[in-house]
Amino acid sequence: MDKQSTLQEGTALEIARVLTEAMPYIRKFQNKSIVIKYGGNAMIDEGLKRSFARDIVLMKLVGLKPVVVHGGGPQIGRLLERLGKDSEFVGGMRVTDAETMDVVEMVLGGLVNKEIVNLINGNGGRAVGLTGKDGDFIRARKLQLKPENLKSGESVQVDLGQVGEVTSIDPEIVRMLGDSDFIPVIAPIGVGEDGRSYNINADLVAGKIAEQLKAEKLILLTNTPGILDRDGNLLTGLSLAEIDTLIAEGTISGGMIPKTFCAVEALKGGVKSAHIIDGRTKHAVLLELFTDQGVGTLLVTR
């Protein structure tokens, strides 16, 4: 047997092994909702954007019900800069006056949302773009800052403007799309009682949607491998009690705290499991769903 034949045989065996490993997971997750928060480098790198779109299409083709919730902070910041408007952040949240809210709606509900929809459709899927204003399915109110949300030196008197928090979600439109051939792609913009638009953190929206759908999984894509211990090693399966300990001792800190809190709230709300995974890894979502080893950090209620 020549080298080329040996190489081809080895490749074929590896493909067969991967497919065999994936099969029980495909069967387990069929007809189950999987909510994915899409953001960070995965939304900027062209290769990662294409691989993410293909992953979502594959999930739908094998019988899962993916729901994509996306951010767009860097894109908003770039457009504001081009318009000559400074970005101001308090407690990690963008101060959103009426003019900034117009830009947020243009970027999240228009440019970013439609790019993701086009990528999924271009890879054989049938995506539908939504904001929380469609059918008023994400109801929101103005977010009131709390002292614990602030960094040292920041004032609690700062008004964040049209930054919101979720008051309720009507999942019917998302469920209806997921039960058909469509893939919902959701921009995290909510609507208040007075009809005003609100800019909401995409992690929080993803978690609340996952709760309402009683999703099998909530997957949060980040720019880190997952939750790390103090030596920089990846922590894999974590229970709620272990998470509390890690936060108390300072191992989970900074920007990972709100992301972890979002995952914990989703678990308490009935989501089966939550995952914080590295969106910089190609096909990270498929690796987490369909392989024995998985990637990133798994959080469960046990």
Q: Delimit the domains of the chain by residue range.
A: 30-299
β-pair type (273-278, 297-299) = antiparallel
Q: What's the DSSP call for residue 235?
A: P
Give me the sign of the Cα torsion angle 100, 160, 149, 132.
negative
* pLDDT in the model for residue 269: 94
* pLDDT in the model for residue 8: 67
Q: Looking at the whole model, is its pTM more than 0.85? A: yes
Structure tokens belonging to residue 95: 């101060």
Provide the CATH number for the domain formed by 30-299 in this structure: 3.40.1160.10
Burial 156-172 (b: 16+ CB within 10 A, else e): eeeebbbbbbbeebebe
* pLDDT in the model for residue 217: 96
Percentages helix, strand, coil for the chain (3-state, rounded to 5) are 45, 20, 35
Per-residue pLDDT of the chain (302 residues; tens, 9 = 90+): 555 555 466 677 777 887 888 899 999 999 999 999 998 777 888 899 999 999 999 999 999 999 999 999 889 999 999 999 988 888 778 899 999 999 999 999 999 999 999 999 999 999 999 999 999 999 999 998 765 555 555 555 578 999 999 999 999 999 999 999 999 999 999 999 989 999 999 999 999 999 999 999 999 998 888 999 888 889 888 999 999 999 888 888 877 888 899 999 999 999 999 999 998 888 999 999 998 877 889 998 87
Structure tokens belonging to residue 155: 């004032």
Question: Residue 77: CB partners within 8 Å, gap ≥ 6?
Answer: 87
Structure tokens belonging to residue 243: 């998470």
* pLDDT in the model for residue 92: 75
Q: Return d(Cα 47, Cα 282) in angstroms, integer.
A: 8
